[in-house]
Amino acid sequence: MFNNLLASLNDFLYSYILIFLLVAAGIYFSIRTKFVQFRLISDAIKVLKEKAENNDNGKSVSSFQALMVSTASRVGTGNIAGISTALCIGGAGAMFWMWLIALLGSASAFIESTLAQIYKRKAADGSSYGGPAYYIQAVLKKRWLGVLFAAVLIVTYMGGFNMVAAFNISDSFRRYDFYQPGTTPLVIGLILAVIFGICIFGGSKRISKITEVIVPVMGIFYIAVSLFIVITHLNLLPGVIVSIFKGAFDISAIFGGFAGSAVMQGVKRGLFSNEAGVGSAPNAAASAGVSHPVKQGLVQMLSVYIDTIVICSATGFMLLCSGVVPEEGIAGMPYVQEAVAGSLGGFGSVFITVALFLFAFTTLIGNFYYAEMGLRYICDKTPKKMIMNIFRIAAALIVCMGATMDFSVVWDTADVLMGLMALINLPVIVLLAKPALRCMQDYFKQKKSGKNPVFKAKDINLETKTDFWN
């Protein structure tokens, strides 16, 4: 009963509301920013080399560290099991709609992360923090809405998303002989919970340090293996490209079953993967020490490209070029493992298990970082040690529980919760876009003058007092 209700809510939310909201917001911000997501890619890359500004005793994180935290959350199970699911249910055409959502959504990511930087708060140690809840309160003066967003953020990332990540790690072991349905998921869940607990009890600084190392290494290695599989099946590539574009515009398939169509699966899995407009990445963006808010907006825009255009595409082409036909019965990790094993033999299964573990584990850590930011907002201060410890223990228990749950339940739960976050954040950033757009104009003005842009609130006539820019 509950499963059916959850599935129905999921279908309704994405079929009739979110697909239109995501596309409309993406088009709107693309036009208002004059397609910043294409014009300033080189600027975004340059910003990554800059050291942290406003750095009090090394407490602020750099743009690169903030990028790695947000990418740790974005780059995860959605890039492997999520893409597999999209292809098995929606067909090859789902790839096109994932690309479109990423290209449009990157403009939304730019706006929300720039806003997070403008309205970020200063902690007692000189570091910064913030996110949608904070710019909602700063501009709209509606703390209740900020609390609602923070609560949904916690439930989504500490609950829904981390259950998906834990489930997919557990599911990746299903192929091995030692796997026992009654006991193996629980054992894996307990091991995950312990390792996860050790990491999160170290706090947000440990999180940024862990992700700074793991994310780039695992990403490069994974892409290299994906490219190897594509190159060894290069004769299949032209047909794969044709099938992507043909499937994307297969009208009969779309209207024959919209919930399972390429459009819907591409939108769902694209949003789950890159999180553009959802309101998660701004929490990481606000922690960066930069001289101008636009710099971090550009960096988070780049994160969307890294996630979907690079890593999701690598997975999609690897699977479609493997020669293994995607079918609904092997959706998720089974399709990935079968495809990789067919190209790399026994090593392939081991590799994809290790890759998924690393992807998913950094996702667990990055997701908890966001949940921690939500808790901080609700408490209106740094939570007491006892509250924080209870929160961390609860997060570890959820990870353990997620490893033992059902495929459809964890994915539907995550999709619904993610959709609720987007329903709050997207209308808000549309309403609050003006300061971000004026901030962008100020950035351009200083760049044209040959300056390294430095932001002052008075330069854009910002009415709201800020902790960093006055």
Q: Which residues, at least 6 apart from 11, have a Cβ–Cβ distance to it below 8 Å? A: 259
Give me the mean pLDDT over the 434-453 stretch: 91
Does pLDDT of 256 surpass 80? no
Highest mean pLDDT among 193-207, 220-234, 425-439: 425-439
Q: Which residues, at least 6 apart from 229, have a Cβ–Cβ distance to it below 8 Å? A: 318, 321, 322, 339, 340, 343, 344
Give me the mean pLDDT over the 246-254 stretch: 67
- Give the C-alpha separation, 255 to 261, whole Å: 8
pLDDT at 144: 94
- Give the C-alpha separation, 84 to 269, whole Å: 10
Please check whether residue 70 is in contact with residue 276, taking contact to mean a CB–CB distance below 8 angstroms: no
Measured at the CA of 208, the angle between CA 165 and CA 225, to 5 degrees, comes to 55
Is residue 384 exposed (0-12), middle (13-18) or buried (19+ Cβ within 10 Å)?
A: exposed
Does pLDDT of 41 surpass 60? yes
- Give the C-alpha separation, 249 to 18, whole Å: 19
Q: Comparing 108 with 14, which gets the higher pLDDT?
A: 108
Please check whether residue 305 is in contact with residue 106, taking contact to mean a CB–CB distance below 8 angstroms: yes
pLDDT at 436: 93
pLDDT at 258: 46
Residue identified by tokens 């993967």 is 273
Does pLDDT of 438 surpass 90? yes
**What string of H, E and C letters represents the secondary structure of the chain?**
CHHHHHHHHHHHHHHHHHHHHHHHHHHHHHHHCCCHHHHCHHHHHHHCCCCCCCCCCCCCECHHHHHHHHHHHHCCHHHHHHHHHHHHHHCCCHHHHHHHHHHHHHHHHHHHHHHHHHCCEECCCCCEECCHHHHHHHHHCCHHHHHHHHHHHHHHHHHHHHHHHHHHHHHCCCCCCCCCCCCHHHHHHHHHHHHHHHHHCCHHHHHHHHHHHHHHHHHHHHHHHHHHHHHHCHHHHHHHHHHHHHHHCCHHHHHHCHHHCHHHHHHHHHHHHHCCCCCCHHHHHCCECCCCHHHHHHHHHHHHHHHHHHHHHHHHHHHHCCCCCCCHHHCCHHHHHHHHHHHHCHHHHHHHHHHHHHHHHHHHHHHHHHHHHHHHHHHCCCCCHHHHHHHHHHHHHHHHHHCCCCHHHHHHHHHHHHHHHHHHHHHHHHHCHHHHHHHHHHHHHHHHCCCCCCCCHHHHCCCCCCCCCC
Q: Comparing 175 with 144, which gets the higher pLDDT?
A: 144
Does pLDDT of 212 surpass 70? no
Q: Which residues, at least 6 apart from 362, have a Cβ–Cβ distance to it below 8 Å? A: 72, 75, 76, 210, 211, 214, 215, 218
pLDDT at 255: 46
Q: Comparing 325 with 436, which gets the higher pLDDT?
A: 436
Sign of CA dihedral 346, 351, 357, 359: negative
Residues of the chain with pLDDT > 90, as a percent, come to 21
What number of other Cβ atoms are within 10 A of residue 323's Cβ? 12
Q: Which residues, at least 6 apart from 226, have a Cβ–Cβ distance to it below 8 Å? A: 314, 315, 317, 318
What pairing do the DSSP bridges indicate for beta strands 128-129 and 121-122? antiparallel
pLDDT at 215: 64
What are the C-alpha distances in Å from 182 to residues 20, 187, 403? 42, 10, 12
pLDDT at 153: 93
Does pLDDT of 220 surpass 60? yes
Does pLDDT of 236 surpass 70? yes
Identity at 37, one-letter amino acid code = Q
pLDDT at 17: 80
Provide the token pair at 206: 């440990």
Give me the mean pLDDT over the 78-106 stretch: 84
Please check whether residue 372 is in contact with residue 84, taking contact to mean a CB–CB distance below 8 angstroms: no
* Weakest-pLDDT range from 42-46, 65-69, 288-292: 65-69
pLDDT at 152: 94
pLDDT range class, residue 211, cuts 50, 70, 90: low
Provide the β-strand partners of residue 122.
128
What are the C-alpha distances in Å from 417 to residues 48, 55, 260, 413? 31, 35, 19, 6
Please check whether residue 178 is in contact with residue 457, taking contact to mean a CB–CB distance below 8 angstroms: no
Q: Comparing 380 with 433, which gets the higher pLDDT?
A: 433
* Weakest-pLDDT range from 154-168, 245-259, 299-313, 383-397: 245-259
pLDDT at 73: 56
Domains, the chain, ordered by start: 2-423 (1.20.1740.10)
Does pLDDT of 48 surpass 80? no
Does pLDDT of 350 surpass 90? no
- Give the C-alpha separation, 368 to 59, whole Å: 19
Q: Which residues, at least 6 apart from 164, have a Cβ–Cβ distance to it below 8 Å? A: 77, 402, 410, 411, 414
- Give the C-alpha separation, 146 to 165, whole Å: 26
* Weakest-pLDDT range from 138-152, 387-401, 407-421: 407-421
- Give the C-alpha separation, 258 to 90, whole Å: 9
Provide the token pair at 70: 């947000």
